[in-house]
Amino acid sequence: MFRLAHISDVHLPALPQPRLRELASKRIIGYVNWRQNRKQAMTEGSLDLLTTDIVDADPDHIVVTGDLTNLALRQEFENARLWLQALGPPTKVTAIPGNHDAYVPRAHHRYRALWAPWMRGDIDETEDAEHIDRAIFPFMRRKGNVAIIGLSSAVASAPFMATGRLGRRQTARLETLLQEAWDERLFRVILVHHPPKLIDPGRALRRLTDGYRLRRAVERFGAELVLHGHDHIRAVTAIRGPRGTVPVIGVPAGSSGPSDGPKSGGYALHEVEESPDCWHLTVIHRCLDESGGVKEAMRVQFDIKRP
């Protein structure tokens, strides 16, 4: 059995004090939101409880689906690198960026460089030495009988918007990787920050604008599991694949405090077992409880046809 832990939207506290010139952009909106709302709702204590629970679960691998930062400040990227190092080495941890990590234009250059060891495929996809230490999307990592495919939907968006985009070239490369992993009979896990399908019409300003590209790629080439964050809520949905539905799992913000509902800070464990004709997938959502501990919130099982 392969055990995969999934955490997202850690929005690392505490926020470094931005310089005045750094706020002369969309960051001023995010900064006000942080001071008025998120500073109280997202804490180091909550994140520490969840990461400790993840370590105690002893998963084979950990994935982080974006939004490690809040305003994409230089110091935030440095702090996130230290957090990733503490979570585990690149052989044990895979990360992708979220929209907050690309909060302003050109911010992506920082995470592509600083977080590259956690955002790199098994084999460099270019022989150009200039790009060896820079993350390139999509990428694929093979871990046992599992293929982890990382996408980037992180783009700078207008004020009051949090949309994402994959683009034609990235989606075309995704199709190639999905076919490669299928040919190798691997359990294919797609990591993307934004959910592939808009569930709540009222959140259109936060959607994956070309989500149809991802859904079309999965419908044609298949996948066994899609993991996302972004909505800060525990979610179990599905999209269409060539041999049936594909589970789509979202997790709440990893630094949110406890609550009674699906927005309570949490993460998910995915247990993958192989049989001759199908994959047995067990999804275990774990969340903070009011007593200061971590508990199981939901358990869902899937049988997924395999090659």
pLDDT at 132 over 80: no
Structure pTM? Answer: 0.95
pLDDT at 267 over 70: yes
In this structure, the number of other CB atoms found within 10 A of the CB of residue 242 comes to: 13
For residues 30-47, give the mean pLDDT.
88
Q: How confident is the model at residue 133 (pLDDT cuts 50, 70, 90)?
A: low
pLDDT at 273 over 80: yes
CA 198 to chain centre: 16
pLDDT at 172 over 50: yes
C-beta of residue 42 within 8 angstroms of C-beta of residue 100:
no
Lowest-pLDDT range, 31-45, 59-73, 146-160, 215-229? 31-45
Counting every residue written for the chain, the total comes to 307
C-beta of residue 251 within 8 angstroms of C-beta of residue 267:
yes
Contacting residues for 73 by C-beta, under 8 A, at least 6 apart: 15, 16, 18, 22, 27
pLDDT at 130 over 60: no
Q: Give me the number of domains the chain comprises.
A: 1
pLDDT at 128 over 60: no
113 is in which domain, residue-wise?
Answer: 2-305
pLDDT at 124 over 50: no
For residues 160-184, give the mean pLDDT.
97
Lowest-pLDDT range, 99-108, 192-201, 232-241? 192-201
pLDDT at 24: 75
CATH number of the domain within which 68 lies:
3.60.21.10
Q: How confident is the model at residue 123 (pLDDT cuts 50, 70, 90)?
A: low
In this structure, the number of other CB atoms found within 10 A of the CB of residue 92 comes to: 14
pLDDT at 300 over 80: yes
For residues 15-44, give the mean pLDDT.
85
Give the residue with greater pLDDT, 29 vs 263: 263
